[in-house]
Structure 1
Amino acid sequence: MTAQAEILFDNPLWPRGRPALSILIPFKGDDPTPLLAALARETGDAEVVILDDGSRDPALAARVEAAIAALPLPARFARLAANEGRSKGRNRLVAHARAGHFLFLDSDMLPDSPTFIAAWLDLIARENPAVAFGGFSLDQAPARADHALHRAMAGHSDCLPATERALTPEKIFTSNLLVRADVFAAESFDEGFAGWGWEDVEWGMRVARCWPILHVENTATHLGLDTARTLADKYEQSTGNFARIVATHHAVISHYPSYKVARVLKRAPLRSLWRPMLKAYALTEGPPLKTRAFALRLYRAALYAEAV
C-alpha cells in the first residue's frame, strides 16, 4: 500500500469500544450521503468507515463530513488526495476497521430492508461466518431510459437468489460482502488489479480454497446503473483484469460462460472487423433490449478472446 497521507474526521461516537461489525464504504465522485442516511435509521453494534478515494470535491467532502457527524453509529471519514483504486482503497479501509467482521458496501447501494444491519449482526452472532454475500437488487433503482440496457443485463445475471448464487460461491461482489477479520488478514484484495472489474471475483476464488462462502438473502439495491456506452467502456477496461484471472485461476474461470464463449470467438476470423459492429448495435437505441444485451455480452466475450 502507498504511504499516501489521509485526512481523518471522526464523529463523537468513534472512541467507543470495539464493535461487532465494521461497515466499509469507498467512494470516488459518487455521493454516499443517501446510503449514510439509510444506515442512520438503524442502530446496533456497528461502526462505519468511509473513504473518499481521491474525489477532489470539497463540497462533496463537506456533505459527507456532516453526515458522519450526525450518524448514530461510531464513524470515521478518511480522505485521499489521489485515487488509489478499488483494491488498494478497500485494503486501506480495513486498516481503520476495529470489528471482527467487515461489511464491504458500495457507496451507490441502498439497503432493501429496514433491518439490514440487524440481519448481518444476527448472522454474525449465530454463525460467525468466514464470508457471506447478501446479494443485490434493482428494487429501488429509478427506471431511466438510458440505463435500460444495464438494468436488463444486471437483472439477468447479477440479481440472483441466494440458492442460485451458491452454485458458484466464489462469484461475489464487494457491493454487499461480509468478511471475517481473520480471513481478510490472510487474503486481502490483490492490488495488482487496475481499472474496473474482476478483483472481487478473484478474491473470492482465492478465499474459496480455504473457507466456505455463504450466500444469504440480505440484499441492497444497486443504484449506480450505467449508460450503455459507459458499460461498454468498463468492459474494455476489464480485459487486462480478465487476463490476470485466466493466468492465476484457469481451472476455475474455464467453467465460466464468459470464458467458454471467448474461447469460441478466439477461433473466429476477422474479429477486428465485426467486433466494433457488435458494440455499435448494442449502443443503438431502438432495437429490442434482449438483442442489444446479447450483442454487448458477445462484444465483451470478443474482447476477452484476446486473453484466452
Structure 2
Amino acid sequence: MPIRRYLTLSIQISVIIPSRNKFPQNLLTLFSLENQTLPPYQYEVILIDDASSDATSTIPELWKFPFRLRLLRLQANLGRPAARNAGIRMAKGKILIFLDAEILVEPGFLESHLLLHQQDNRLLASGVLTMKGAYTQLDPGFNEVQLQEAYTLLKPQPAFHPAYEKFIKTGQGQLLLGREDIKKGVYRQLAVQKVHEALYEDEILQRHGDRLQGFHLPWLISHTGNLSVARTAFQQHGYFEEYSGYGWDDLEFGYRLFRQGYRFAHIRYPFTYHQEHPVSPSVGNEAHTNFYLFQQKYRQISLLVLLLLYIPSPMSFHQVNLVLDEIYRLDAESVGLYLPLIGVMRSMLEAAGYLLRFGQPISHLLTHAGLPPDSVKRADFEAQRSALAASGRWSMLGEALNRLLAL
C-alpha cells in the first residue's frame, strides 16, 4: 500500500480552523497543535484562509509541522460558517474538531475529544465554557479593559517588560510568545478568566456536570471555538447555516443535532486559551440578526425561552432551565390543557425576538402577540394564568410570564 494512502486511512481527526487576518495568532495556534499526545499521523489540520490580507497564506511555505497541514485559500471573504463548510468538504478524519484561529490548546486536547467520540458516535463535545483568555500579543486596537488586564498580567513578570515598554513608546503591536514558549506552556502565565467562565460554572456546570444531566439546553455549549462532532453528523443532518456576520451558526447546528437525539459533553480538561484581540463594534448587531434568523427557522419554545436572557430584567441560565422544565411538566400533567397559555408565551417571546433584532423597545408584548386589551383571547389567557398561579405550583413559569407582561 502506498505511504500516502496509508496515512489517509490513519487519520482519525481533522482540525478545521477558519482564519481571517489572524496572523500571527493563528501561527501560535498551529504551534500548540504540534505538541499533542496523539501521534501526528492520526490527525490533519485544515487552515482556511478566508481571503486574508496578512501573512496567513505563507505559513505552509515558511513553517514545517509534524502533522499534515492543508491550506485552503478562499479568493473572496465568505465568512466563518462558509469557511468551515469548505473545510468539512476537504476533511479526511472521522472526527471533526473546530477551532477558532486564535485558540491555544494544551497537549492532551485532541486525545480528550477522540476518547469521547470512541465511546459515543452520536455526541457533540465542547470545552468553550471553561476556556481561558490569554494575552499573547499587545495590540494597539485593545480597549481600555484589555489594556489594563494585559498590564496587570505583565507587571509582575520582568521578562515581558521590554515588549510592554516598546508597545507604550511606539504604539506598535508586540508579539509576546514564540514557538518554544508555546511548547513550554508559557501562555499559562498570561492567562485570565474569561468574563462568562464563572457564570457558566455556577449556572450550568456545577448544577448539571460535564454531561449536562437535567439541563434542557445542552446545545448551548455548541461553540466552534472548541467543538467536535463526527463527520457523519454533517453528512446526515446538513452543514452550518451560512449566516453573514458574527454568531449563532454553530448554536443552530447544535440545536439541530439536539432535535435529532444527539448527546452533549463538556470537556473541562485540558483547558484551551483564547488569544485576546480587538473586538469589532459590529459584533453585537450581527449576533442579534443571526439569532433572529435562528428563531424564525424553528419557532419552538425550547429555543425561544433563551430570549428570557435578553429582555429587560433578564433571567439567568438556571432560571431559564427551570422555566423550560416547568413547561414540559405542565404540558405532560395537564394533557395539553395549558397549550393555549404556552402558545401565547411563545408568541410574546417571538415578539421580543423581533423587537430585539430591529432595535426597538421590548414592550407591550401581548399586543404584539395579537392579544390587544379587552380581546377574548386576552381574557382566556388571563384566566389560565390565574389558574396557574392559584395552583401554588409552576412558580418559575409564573415568574417568566410576569416579567414578560411587565415590559
Indicate the residue corresponding to 1:132 in structure 2.
125
**Could you report, residue by residue, the CA deviation over 1:76-116 in whole angstroms, capped at 9, with x for unpaired residues?**
111112111121111100011011110011111011x3211
Larger Rg: 2
TM-score where L is the length of structure 1: 0.71
Q: How far apart, in 1, do the equivalents of 2:285 and 2:229 lie?
A: 29
Indicate the residue corresponding to 2:174 in structure 1.
none
Q: 1:115 to 1:302 in 2, by over 3 A?
A: same
Q: Which range moves more in the overlay, 133-142 or 35-44? A: 133-142
Q: 1:138 to 1:181 in 2, by over 3 A?
A: closer
Indicate the residue corresponding to 1:146 in structure 2.
145
Q: Aligned pair 1:169/2:218, yes or no?
A: yes
Q: How far apart, in 1, do the equivalents of 2:120 and 2:256 lie?
A: 22
Q: How far apart, in 2, do the equivalents of 1:128 and 1:74 lie?
A: 24
Q: How far apart, in 1, do the equivalents of 2:284 and 2:5 lie?
A: 39
Deviation at 1:131, TM superposition (A): 1.6
Taking the TM superposition and a 5 Å limit, the aligned residue runs for 1:142-291 are 142=135, 145-147=144-146, 153-157=195-199, 161=205, 163=209, 166=212, 167=215, 168-171=217-220, 172-185=222-235, 186-191=237-242, 193-210=243-260, 211-218=262-269, 219-227=271-279, 230=280, 232-250=281-299, 251-256=301-306, 259-260=307-308, 262-263=310-311
Task: Give the secondary structure class of the aligned counterpart of 1:221.
Answer: strand
Give the partner amino acid of 1:222: H
Greater share of helix residues, 1 or 2? 2
Count of aligned positions? 254
Q: 1:135 to 1:99 in 2, by over 3 A?
A: same
Indicate the residue corresponding to 1:81 in structure 2.
75
Contact 1:14 1:76 in 2 (8 A): no
Q: How far apart, in 2, do the equivalents of 1:302 and 1:154 lie?
A: 25
Indicate the residue corresponding to 1:60 in structure 2.
56
2:103 is aligned, of 98, 109, 126, to: 109
Q: 1:249 to 1:151 in 2, by over 3 A?
A: farther
Task: Give the secondary structure class of the aligned counterpart of 2:250.
Answer: helix
Task: Give the secondary structure class of the aligned counterpart of 1:238.
Answer: helix
Deviation at 1:28, TM superposition (A): 0.3
1:48 is aligned, of 45, 68, 72, to: 45
**Could you report, residue by residue, the CA deviation over 1:133-163 in whole angstroms, capped at 9, with x for unpaired residues?**
1235453512975337997633355677482
Q: How far apart, in 1, do the equivalents of 2:99 and 2:121 lie?
A: 19
Contact 2:29 2:103 in 1 (8 A): yes
Task: Give the secondary structure class of the aligned counterpart of 1:72.
Answer: coil
Give the partner amino acid of 1:212: R
Indicate the residue corresponding to 1:123 in structure 2.
116
Calculate percent identity across the aligned residue pairs.
23
TM-score where L is the length of structure 2: 0.55
**Could you report, residue by residue, the CA deviation over 1:140-195 in whole angstroms, capped at 9, with x for unpaired residues?**
5129753379976333556774827833211120011111111111231012x110
Q: How far apart, in 2, do the equivalents of 1:109 and 1:13 lie?
A: 29
Structural RMSD (CA): 3.3
Q: Where do 5+ consecutive residues of structure 1 fail to align?
A: 1-11, 266-299
Task: Give the secondary structure class of the aligned counterpart of 2:8.
Answer: coil
Give the partner amino acid of 1:244: L
Q: How far apart, in 1, do the equivalents of 2:127 and 2:285 lie?
A: 28
Contact 1:202 1:245 in 2 (8 A): yes
Indicate the residue corresponding to 1:24 in structure 2.
16
Q: How far apart, in 2, do the equivalents of 1:104 and 1:152 lie?
A: 20
Give the partner amino acid of 1:21: I
